[in-house]
Amino acid sequence: MPAHDVLIIGAGLAGQRAALAAADAGATVAIMSKVHPVRSHSVAAAGGINAALNPEDTWESHAFDTVKGSDYLGDQDAIEIMAREAPEEILHLEHIGVTFHRNEHGQLGTRAFGGASQARTYYVADITGQAILHVLYEQLMKYSNQVDRLEEWFTTSLIQDEDGTCVGCIARDIRSGAMEVFTAKNVILASGGCGQAFKPTTNGLIVTGDGISQAYRIGAPLMDMEMVQYHPTCLVENGFLITEGARGEGAHLLNGDGERFMEKYAPNKLELASRDVVSRAEQTEIDEGRGAGPDGVGIYLDVTVVPKKRTLEALREIVNIGKDFAGVDITREPILIRPGQHYIMGGVRTDADGATPVPGLYAAGEVACVSVHGGNRLGANSLLDTLIFGKRAGTHAAERARAMAMPTPKAAEAKRREDVEEIDAIIARPKTGRRISSIKEELGESMNRHCAVFREEDGLRQGLEIVKHLQEEAKTAYIDDRGTVFNQDVLGAIELGYMLDCAEATVVSAIERKESRGAQFRTDFPERNDDEWLKHINVTTNGGDDPAISYSPVTITKWQPEERKY
C-alpha cells in the first residue's frame, strides 16, 4: 500500500506546480495521471499568462480587470492573491527555463488579451501551455528521490477514514488492469474540468470531470457550476480552439455581410471585450441571420489584417490548424469560427490555499473553484490560476502533513474490492443496452443545445430530463473490450458517469440562478440582479434525489459591483 505525505491526482500545470511546491516544503509526494504528464490538457493552452509585471502596470489594475471580467461573482480576496503573486511566478518560470517572447529591447514582451486594460499577457508564440508544462516536468525529474511519478494510473475513487477525512484513492494501472490503494495524509485534485460533457468543446478527450465528480461523491460541495465559458473562436468544423492571441494580434470578426459587428456590442474594446460578451455577440449575429459560411452557422475571423510575418511568428500553430483542419490559409483568407465550450469557471469549492470543506482534500486548477473567475474567466488567467493556487495547495498540504501520522484507513481494502467488482460488472454487461459513445454523444449535444451561450427555463428543464434519462441508460451501457491491458473502453464507461454528475450539477445550478451574469445568460431573466443573486450557488449530493442547493456569499474587498461595459 504506497503511502505519501501528499498525493496529487492530475499532472497538468496545477498538479506539477503543486508537486514541486510540496517537495520544496519537504513532503514526500506522488503525482498520478491517467496520461503521461506532458499530454495533460494544459498543453493545449495557447495564448499566454497574465501578470502586471511592466512598471506602468499594477497588480490592482489586473485584479480589477479580473473582478470586472467575473461580472462581480469572483471572490476578491482570492483575486487579489492571484494578481499580487503573478509577477513573481512569471519571473520564476523564466528563470527555470520558460522561453517567453522578448521584444526588440530584449525585455519580456506582452500581447493584448480580452477584458484587460493593459497588455499584460506573456507568451511563447501560441504554445504557452506546452512550453510551461515541459519545463515543469523537467523540474519534476530533478526530484526523482522525493516525487513518485505514477503515469497512466486512473483514479476510480477517493477514500475516507472513519471521520470523513480524505486519506487517499483507489487507482487502476491502465497498463495491466491492477487496482491498488494509495494512502496519503493529503490529496490534491488537479484533474481539470469537464468539457467533454459538451459537444463541441475545445477540451481534449481526457477532460471528463473526474476530480469534480470524485470530490462530489464524497461530500465536497461544487460551486458556480452554471458558469460555463464558451470561447468565441472555435473552428466550425470540429470545435478546435483558435487562440485569443489572434484577436490580441489584431484580427477582426466579421459577419456574413462583411460587417465588423463588435462595434455594436463593445464599442471600446471591440474584439477584445471579455469572452462572454464576444460569444454572445457572435451567437446573436448567427441567430439573427447574419452568420457566415454554409447554412450561416459561423462567423469570419479575419487574420489577414495582421502582417503575415507577425502571424507566422506569433500564431504559427493556428496557421497549421487552419490548413490541416479547415483547408484555409489564414494569412490569405478569413477562417470560419463559432462559439464553443471551453472552460468551467465552477468546480470543487476551495479556499485560497486549495483546501476543500472535506478534511485532507485539496483542489487546484480547473477542477477547483476558488473563485477567481466568477461568472467569466479572462483569457490568460487560467494558466495563472493553475500555477498560483497549485503552488499554494502544495505548500499548505505539505505543512499540514508535518503534524500528522500516516493514516491507516480501515475501509480502504473494502473500497478497492468494491471498485473491482463495479469494473467487472461493467465488463460483463450484455450487449443489449446502448454504447457508451452513443450516450456521450447525446449528452454533449444536449448540453450544447440547452446549456450554452443562451439559456431559458424550458430548455434547461428539458436538458435536465435528458441528463437523468442518460444516467439511467449509462447503468446498462455496454463495452466491447473485455481485457485488462489498456482497456480504454472500461475507463470510458467510468468517465461517462463522471461527466453525467458534472452535467447534472451544471444544469441544476443554471436553473437555480434566475438572472443573467457572466457566462449565464438567461433569456427569460436577461438582467443581472445583484439584490438577489450576488452569491455563489453550491450543490452537494443528496442521496438519490436532485442535488441539494445552498448559497455562500461573494467576498468583496475593494470593488463594489457596477455596470459592466466594454
Helical residues (DSSP H) of 192-315, grouped into ranges: 210-217, 245-248, 262-265, 275-287, 308-314
Backbone angles phi, psi at 13, to 5 degrees: -60, -45
Least Cα distance to 371 among 76, 92, 61, 58 occurs for 76
The active-site residue, picked from 120, 247, 275, 528, is 275
* Residue 270 in grid coordinates: 471591440
Cα–Cα distance measured from residue 230 to residue 280, given in angstroms and rounded to the nearest whole number: 9
DSSP states of 189-211 as a string?
E-----GGGSSSBSS-TT-S-HH
Which DSSP category does 318 fall into?
H
Least Cα distance to 64 among 501, 381, 525 occurs for 381
449 labelled catalytic: no
Cα–Cα distance measured from residue 564 to residue 68, given in angstroms and rounded to the nearest whole number: 7
Query: Prior bond to 87 cis, omega within 30?
Result: no
Least Cα distance to 553 among 69, 72, 219, 60 occurs for 72
Going from the C-alpha of 145 to that of each of 6, 11, 181, 383, the distances in angstroms are 14, 18, 21, 28
Query: Prior bond to 371 cis, omega within 30?
Result: yes
Q: Which pLDDT belongs to residue 1? A: 58
Domains and CATH numbers, the chain: 3-227+345-402 (3.50.50.60), 231-341 (3.90.700.10), 412-535 (1.20.58.100)
Mind listing the pLDDT tens digit of every residue in the chain (566 residues)?
A: 579 999 999 999 999 999 999 999 999 999 999 999 999 999 988 889 999 999 999 999 999 999 999 999 999 999 999 999 999 999 999 999 999 999 888 999 898 888 899 999 999 988 999 999 999 999 999 998 899 999 999 999 999 999 999 999 999 999 999 999 999 999 999 999 999 999 999 999 999 999 999 999 999 999 999 999 999 999 998 888 998 889 989 999 999 999 999 999 999 999 999 999 999 999 999 999 999 998 899 999 999 999 999 999 888 888 999 999 989 999 999 999 999 999 999 999 999 999 999 999 999 999 999 999 999 999 899 999 999 999 999 999 999 999 899 998 888 999 999 999 999 999 999 998 899 999 999 999 999 999 999 999 999 999 999 999 999 999 999 999 999 999 999 999 999 999 999 999 999 999 999 999 999 999 999 999 999 999 999 999 987 788 999 999 999 999 999 999 98
Q: Which pLDDT belongs to residue 410? A: 87
Least Cα distance to 185 among 408, 418, 480 occurs for 408
* Residue 91 in grid coordinates: 519571473
* Residue 392 in grid coordinates: 499554494
With b for 16 or more beta-carbon neighbours within 10 A and e for fewer, the 528-554 pattern comes to bebeebbebbbbbbeeeeebeeeeeeb
Q: Which pLDDT belongs to residue 545? A: 81
233, amino acid identity: T
Q: Which pLDDT belongs to residue 245? A: 86
